[in-house]
Structures are given as structure tokens and as C-alpha cells.
Structure 1
Amino acid sequence: MTHLAVILAALAALPAPARAAGLEAVSFDAARAFEAIAIPAGALSGEWKTDRAFKDGGPLAAAAVATAHTTGLPVVATIKGGMNHSPVDLTLNRREWTIKGGINLSPTDLKIDHDRKTITGGANHSPVDLSFQWSTEKIVIEGGANRSPVSLTVDWTAGTITGHASHSPVRVEFDLQKGTAKGYAGLAPVELALDNASGRLTGGMNHSPVDVTLVNCDLSDFLQYFFLFLK
């Protein structure tokens, strides 16, 4: 039985008033869940496309897909190692929606507010004041960070990050299934490869080697907060 059929069967067994309330709650929770989750590693895979078609069936289907992708998603994720000629020690908390730690020899303290659609705080020796628009197709981030205007579009369908940040143009092509990203940003080439088994991300960007380990997150998390890893 599909996720949608299970939910419909459960709702059908309720009295009419409870059934109506259940539909409203599921629709609201589904929208919040989709906005809050990161795109999974298989975002462009056949499995994800099937889920997206299922989602397009309506709010109940959206709730089922959201539940499937949030179930078992760890609350805490980390990125640790070295890049930009400095240590990296970052923690993403998916319950409090914060990113804390350090990178680029600077403390990091960011708050992601999904209601206001903002990312605020400090990182890279700079205030961070960003807004974002989220969909299953793309994320658009605009505002200021790294003492520079920021305008970045992460397009999951096209497999690209385009725009500008850190006083330089950005264009990176990525493949989430292969775990690769290649292009330019920060006036330097970008070439990264993720070993999915170990979570080790290696390569180079910002004229520096990259060697970090991703735990409970993947390349999609790294890419949607790409501004943070620039200098």
C-alpha cells in the first residue's frame, strides 16, 4: 500500500469533523516539513522523481513524502577537517536550525529561520544577513555575507550554483549522485569530490586544498550553504 493510501485509509476511518481537522493539519505540517528539510543525496535520482510525482498529487501526498524524507534524518550534522588554509569545525542542528563552530579562522554562529526565511548571525569575520526562497526545484539566497553582497541560486534540476558572493562571480556544476562539484568561485577554480561511503569531501577551492568529513549530511547540505565556505 502506498503512503497516500495509508493516510487516506486512516482519515476515512475518522468522524467527519476529525477528518476535516486532520486534512488541515496534514497540509500545514507538510508545507513546514518541506521547507525545513535539506535536499537528500538522491535528489535527482529516479526514486526522488517518483516521490515528486507523488507529491504533486496534493497536500496529503506532500505530507507522505515529507514524512518519508524526514524520518530518521539525524538532528545533528557536522563538517570537520581543513580548507581555506584553516581548520573547519561546523555543527548543523536541524532541531534548533543553527550552524555553529568555526571556519576561516573565524567563529560561526548562524540562525536559520524558516518562518521568516532568513539566515542571520556571523561568520567569516562578517555579519550575515540573508533571505532565502526555497522550493524542491531551487534555493535562492540573497543579502549580505563575507562583507559582500550575495546572490546565489542553487538549482537542483539544472545541477548548478550561479550568482555572486565574496566579491566574485560563482558558477559551479554539480552531480549529487556522483558527489562532484566543479566550476569557479572566489576568483578560484572549484573541484570537489565526495566519497559517499566515508563522507570525505576532497579537492580544492579558494586556492586551497579541501579535506573535510561530512557526518549526517551530504553534498547538498554543503552546496546550499555554499556562501559559508567561501573566503
Structure 2
Amino acid sequence: MIIHALCLIAALAGAAPLESVSAAGAGGFAFRSFKFTPSAAVAAAPQAAALPRVGTITGGMNHSPVDLSFDRRAGRITGGMNLSPLDVTIDHEAGTIKGGANLSPVDLVFKWSPEKVLMEGGANHSPVKLLVDWKAGVLEGYANHSPVRVEFDLETGKLAGYANHSPIDLQYDKVSGKLTGGMNHSPVDITLVDLDLYDFLTYFFLFLK
């Protein structure tokens, strides 16, 4: 038992510190890889360092295949969806997200607190202002030339609201990683591997069309 405890302490001490970037919980890509640890997820933070370097989202939505890779070490999201290539870089020092997605430039800045993340700028040829309030369970603002409001429950995996001038009704299964339902007037059937709802909600602008 003593040897096991010493090994565990050594492993945790040698783990790379979490760095800050976009504000999700211990389950989120940006938050686990860059120090973003909302209060509700503090207890889970030590496990974050053990996560695989790359998480993926695959399947279909917006009447298009989805194949995305989230590289924690590089702070980069690449792949394709909405019938277009996607390549964005998260700079946690500058507090920016830049690149291209949905055949549009992405130029965003974000501000983080343990309970919220605010993202502002431009994407999808539209002004963007999205605020995720983890404690209240609400994502709201505007993007894609449309008001956005999504109420979510991270425990049950239920998301409901509206965006892109269409209703949102989604259900996330923590065991399988599947997110199903409908948004953007299209069925959604995608699978998140080594990612979760924190990532989907934080980078919500990517999934609009």
C-alpha cells in the first residue's frame, strides 16, 4: 500500500500542469489540456493529465459527415464537417481562437472564469458572442446571424433550446459518447471519444451551419 501511494504521488507530481484556454470542466478538451477547471470539476482535475493526447468527434450532422480531431498538446482542432475542411488553433497565452471552419475565417477571443467562458469575434461569416454559464446550465448569445440559447444538464446529458433559427433537442450518453437528436434542421448522430459535452458546448460555433 505504501509503495502504491508513493508511486501515485510521484506520478501526479510529474504530470504536466493543466493550462488555461477555454473554460470547460475536467471533461473538456480545452479545460483539461490548458488548466480550465470550473469549480464543479476540481476534484476530477488530477485525472485530466492522463487523458489521451487526441480526442475525436465522428458521425454525421447538418446533412454532412463529421470527422474532427482535438489535439490537446498542440491546442488545435482539425478535420472536416459541413462539407468543408476545418483547422483552428487555440492560443491560451493570447486568449484567441483562429483559423478556418465552414468555409469561413475564425477569429475569436475568449475570457475565462471558473464558472463561465465568454467567446467573441467572428466565425461562419457572422459576428459571434457566446457565453457558457456552467453553473446556470445555459449557453446563450448569438452566432450564425441568429440568437442562441441552449439549456443543458451535464449530469443527464440533455440539451434543449434554439440556434441557427432552428430548435435544438439533443441527448448525450456518457457511456457510449453518442450525441443524438436534432439541430440546424438536421438529424445529429455523432460520437465523442475522449471528449464530452464540455467540448461540444465550448466550441459550439463550429457545429452551426
What TM-score do you get using the length of structure 2 for normalisation?
0.83
What do residues 48-107 of structure 1 show as CA deviations (whole Å, max 9, x unaligned)?
85775xxxxxxxxxxxx6861532122100000000000000000000000000010010
Answer yes or no: is the 8 Å Cα contact 2:84–2:102 preserved in 1: yes
| Selected match of 2:112 from 134, 139, 145 | 134
Q: Distance in 1 between matches of 2:80 and 2:107?
A: 18
1:196 lines up with 2:138 in the alignment = no
Q: Unpaired segments of 5 or more residues in structure 1?
A: 1-5, 7-28, 53-64
CA shift digits 1:12-49 (9 cap, x unpaired): xxxxxxxxxxxxxxxxx86x624467413499xxxx85
**Aligned counterparts of 1:51 and 1:204: Cα–Cα separation in 2:** 28
1:209 to 175, 184, 187: 187
Aligned residues: 188
Residue 120 of structure 1 aligns with an amino acid whose one-letter code is: K
- Which is helix-richer, 1 or 2? 1
Provide the residue aligned with 1:174 in structure 2.
152
1:163 and 2:141 aligned: yes
Aligned partners of 2:59 and 2:67 also within 8 Å: yes
- The structure having more radius of gyration, on CA atoms, is 1
Per-residue displacement from partner, 1:193-224 (whole Å, max 9, x unpaired)? 01111111100000000000000000111000
Q: 2:55 maps to what in 1?
A: 77
Which of 149, 152, 155 is the matching residue for 2:127?
149
Amino acid at match of 1:194: Y
Cα distance between partner residues in 2 of 1:162 and 1:70: 27
Amino acid corresponding to residue 86 of structure 1 in structure 2:
S
Using the alignment, how far apart are the partners of 1:38 and 1:86 within structure 2? 26
* Partner amino acid, structure 1, of 2:133: D
Q: Is the aligned partner of 1:40 residue 2:26?
A: yes
| 1:115-156 alpha-carbon deviations (Å, 9 max, x no partner) | 000000000010000000112201100000000000000110
- The answer to which structure, 1 or 2, has the higher relative contact order (CA under 8 A, 6+ apart) is 2
Which segments of 5 or more consecutive residues in structure 2 lack a partner in the other structure? 1-5, 7-15, 32-37
Match of 1:12 in 2: none
Counterpart pick for 2:73 among 92, 95, 115: 95
Contact persistence 2:23–2:114 (CA under 8 A): no
Residues in 1 aligned to 2:22 and 2:163: alpha-carbon distance in whole angstroms: 27
Structure 1: 4+ residue segments shifted above 3 A: 34-38, 48-52
